[in-house]
Structure 1
């Protein structure tokens, strides 16, 4: 298991007995395996999982504009317009991770951040927590892209944010982040 704050070592106690838990492979990006679980009828079944890093998605607004990043995603072979996002490092809060990722990816430092929601994602397969963080009061700084980040920053008027976020190709984190911020009256 990674010691970098990226794994979910504090899973709840199981309601169904776990007979065996097996990690079958580990990569720098995720761990995969299964739990052999005793089901309510007494039978057992393997439930496969992939464990990903805890992540943050940043909804950053300044002067009536929502910040997006445009980047190519090799996994789906498409360029996507997305909300800034990244991994929560060991010992970091969601808000600190969001502020760091926003600075690194967009070159803006937020004066204030607040958690809109944190949740489990794709629970039929993944062990992956994601938090959505609202950021405001943005000050320009020098971006610090990771070696595998090739992206450009785009601003969209907040009144167009939902329709832009829903344009194909899109992803769950972007649509969910915009919807949460809109529901909270922030867009």
Structure 2
């Protein structure tokens, strides 16, 4: 199975349970929604609903003992959040290439090194969404280039405060995950 609109760049694996039908019910520039009609192991049939989101990257960027966050208002939850820089992985990009591009676009810093901490499927009970977490360091000034829907402010937070900032309400799952992964790897 391939992505419906080219936003997800990897194919889904062959199903273990037979997919009798795949139906797209909703298609927007941001996500696709639908269901698979699946034959279950007991022979019964069931619709498994899904929302497909673009493959994304989250960046844990460290410079001079500080982690770079971005502060932005999220209309979906109607609150301003402190988040890690993040964005969509474009076709043909690796997670690390996308991370360097997104970091410069959102914060104005270019990393001299990036490394993939982890990538995984998110909220697999409902979403078809893959997310990669990248550690970036050796930051040099670059040029911010915000998208037309991005209104954000870069904020530097001391490394020893990063987890507390990430966990402060309203929190963002990707930000907490990124900080915890980097901490577990001994990078923070």
Band the TM-score falls in, shorter-chain normalisation: over 0.9
Tell me the residue number matched to 1:2.
5
Quote the Cα distance in structure 2 between the aligned partners of 1:20 and 1:184.
42
Task: Give CA deviations for 1:125-160 in whole Å, capped at 9, x if unaligned.
Answer: 000000000000000112111111000010000011
Tell me the residue number matched to 1:62.
63
| 1:22-41 matched pairs, under 5 angstroms | 22-41=23-42
Q: What is the aligned-residue RMSD (CA, Å)?
A: 0.8
User: Structure 1, unaligned stretches of length 5 or more?
Assistant: none
| 8 A contact 1:8–1:127 mirrored in 2 | no
Tell me the residue number matched to 1:184.
185
Quote the Cα distance in structure 1 between the aligned partners of 2:133 and 2:89.
12
| 8 A contact 1:8–1:51 mirrored in 2 | no
Tell me the residue number matched to 1:153.
154
User: Structure 2, unaligned stretches of length 5 or more?
Assistant: none
Quote the Cα distance in structure 1 between the aligned partners of 2:9 and 2:105.
25
Quote the Cα distance in structure 2 between the aligned partners of 1:71 and 1:129.
22
Quote the Cα distance in structure 1 between the aligned partners of 2:137 and 2:102.
14
Count, aligned residues: 185
| 1:42-61 matched pairs, under 5 angstroms | 42-61=43-62
| 1:29-178 matched pairs, under 5 angstroms | 29-178=30-179
Moved over 3 A (4+): none
| C-alpha distance 9-25 of structure 1, shift in aligned 2 (>3 A) | farther
| C-alpha distance 25-114 of structure 1, shift in aligned 2 (>3 A) | same
Provide the secondary structure at the position in 1 that maps to 2:33: strand
Quote the Cα distance in structure 1 between the aligned partners of 2:122 and 2:158.
28
